[in-house]
Amino acid sequence: MAAPGRLVVVSQPAFDFGDEPHDDAANPTYTVGELASAINEQLRRGFFDGVWVRGEIDGLRHAGPHTYFSLVEDGDDGRAVLGVSLFAPMKRNLTPLLKKNRLELENGMKVRIFGHLDYYAPNGRLGLKMAGIDPRFTLGEMSQARDQVVRKLVAAGLFDANRTRPFPLVPLRVGVVTSVGTAAWHDFHDELRRSELGFQLRVCDTRVQGEGADRGLAGAIRTLGRRSDVDCVVVIRGGGARNELATFDAEAIAIAIATSPVPVITGLGHEIDRSIADDVAHTSHKTPTACARSLIDAVADYRRALDRTWSEIAARSRDRFADAQRGLGDRAHRVARRTHSAVERADERLSTRRDRLREGPARSLAIGAAQVDQRAERLVRRAPIALDSELRSLDGAAARLALLDPVNLLQRGWSITRDRDGNIVRSIDDVADDATLTTELADGRLTSTVTERAAGRRSTTAPTDDPATTNGDDHE
């Protein structure tokens, strides 16, 4: 290739304008249509009996009675794609075979198909006209994928995990994973409604088939399993092709069911095959209606058990009450008999005590009167003697009292000295120099001023509570 901006000059002899004919048998020239026919002729010769091709369906679409899709394979060298056409006549021939094996063409389905290669001139593409399919290949691929998931679950200890969850006694709060509006949903919902039981449904509306359905279903199961107002989770869908139901063989759904903290019940609407979701669920049923019926039966069984228990409680209560009533009657009779006997004995004791009571006061009064007379005589005899003794004691006390009277003490030459505040002076320490004192004598009072304090002999006799007295010589 010339560099940009350079001009390449080619001389005329470089072109070969020979006079050879255009349609030489050794070097023919084709029109586009002729080349397309030649390609198809070569394809028919090279693949006379047709060819088997395996891959994964992608881009499935229906155009009237015909079906078109791509057969793809992801390899080390990238993705290989082959267009496939399934025309109406061949489609009618293959439909019974697909139905017999409960298969339906869908995206992501691995297939082994038979057909004839065809170069389609209008768009210049090579394609395959589908004429047959090997159902065993598809079923085998599905079985291998299923077995691989089962092995993973068993190795992780999850295969039986959900069955260990205790099933609620009254499963009235139900989480439902389904596609709302489908026949499966209506069958399930209508069955519960006809039971007239108080079911409370929390519904996650999600796709149950097709691309991404496994992720949506797994997410819905996890969401409902985490709710505190859900007793169990129900996963339902109606019947369908085997490869459509293979969605429930997905590892993501199996793990979501196995790790759910509440029991998971499945009703996937197929009578023959079991999906991995059925295998790992706590309980599986063949149809959504059967799934609803199992919930109704569980609640009904609880109600019947509750009624039986209540009947047993009522019967035992009646028996206990009858026994208690009979026992109470017997005790009442015994109490009546014992009461009658006790009353009779009490009457006898009361009569005896009444007689004793009547005799006792008279006898006690007589004894008391005699004792009073005796004590009166002793009192009359002892009164003068006791009176003389008390008078002598009183005279002695009066004489001792007279000796302690301050008036008598003052007449005997003693005096009482007080300071200006009227406090009795008992010590020279009680007054200060130049203090004014008042001295009380038998015939009057003297007022003096302290000019000198001299300590004298202290008395060894303890002072009394009587007012302090001093000799007249002790003050100035």
The answer to whether residues 117 and 43 touch, using CB atoms and an 8 Å cutoff, is yes
Q: Report the C-alpha gap between 10 and 3 in whole angstroms.
A: 16
**Which of 94, 265, 105 has its CA nearest to residue 188?**
265
Q: Mean pLDDT for each consecutive 10-residue tract of the chain (476 residues)?
A: 42 48 66 72 73 88 91 84 90 88 83 85 82 85 82 90 93 94 92 93 90 91 94 90 80 94 89 82 92 94 91 89 88 87 86 80 81 83 81 84 75 84 84 86 86 68 46 44
Q: Report the C-alpha gap between 474 and 459 in whole angstroms.
A: 13
Q: 108's torsion region: left (phi>0), alpha (psi -120 to 50) or beta?
A: left
Q: Top-level CATH class of 143-299? A: alpha beta
The answer to whether residues 281 and 267 touch, using CB atoms and an 8 Å cutoff, is no
Q: Report the C-alpha gap between 168 and 170 in whole angstroms.
A: 5
> Considering the entire predicted model, what is its pTM?
0.52
What number of other Cβ atoms are within 10 A of residue 444's Cβ? 7
Length of the chain: 476
What pLDDT sits at residue 270? Answer: 65
**Which of 398, 404, 173 has its CA nearest to residue 299?**
173
DSSP state of 26: T
CA distances from 394 to 4, 90, 348, 398, 459 (A): 164, 158, 63, 6, 31
Please report, for the chain, the start and end positions of each structural domain, with discontinuous segments joined by +.
21-133, 143-299, 408-474
Q: Is 3.40.718.10 the CATH classification of the domain at 21-133? A: no
Q: Report the C-alpha gap between 223 and 220 in whole angstroms.
A: 5
What pLDDT sits at residue 24? Answer: 62
Q: Report the C-alpha gap between 52 and 366 in whole angstroms.
A: 146
The sheet carrying 264-267 orders its strands as: 200-205, 173-178, 232-236, 264-267, 283-285
What pLDDT sits at residue 25? Answer: 65
Q: What residue type is assigned to position 162 of the chain?
A: N
What pLDDT sits at residue 291? Answer: 93
439-447, Cβ contacts within 8 angstroms, sequence gap of 24 or more: 439/415, 439/472, 439/475, 440/410, 440/415, 440/416, 441/410, 441/415, 441/472, 442/407, 442/410, 442/411, 446/475
**Which of 87, 93, 38 has its CA nearest to residue 64?**
87
- Dig out the tokens for 291 from the structure: 């799934």
What number of other Cβ atoms are within 10 A of residue 250's Cβ? 21
With 0-12 / 13-18 / 19 or more C-beta atoms within 10 angstroms meaning exposed / middle / buried, residue 234 is buried
Q: Report the C-alpha gap between 64 and 379 in whole angstroms.
A: 150
Beta bridge partners of 268: none
- Dig out the tokens for 60 from the structure: 């499935």
Q: Where are the alpha helices (DSSP H) in 22-62?
A: 32-46
What pLDDT sits at residue 173? Answer: 95
Q: Report the C-alpha gap between 96 and 86 in whole angstroms.
A: 15
Q: Report the C-alpha gap between 174 and 198 in whole angstroms.
A: 11
At 363-421, the pLDDT tens digits run 788 888 888 888 888 888 887 888 888 888 888 888 788 777 777 777 777 888 888 88
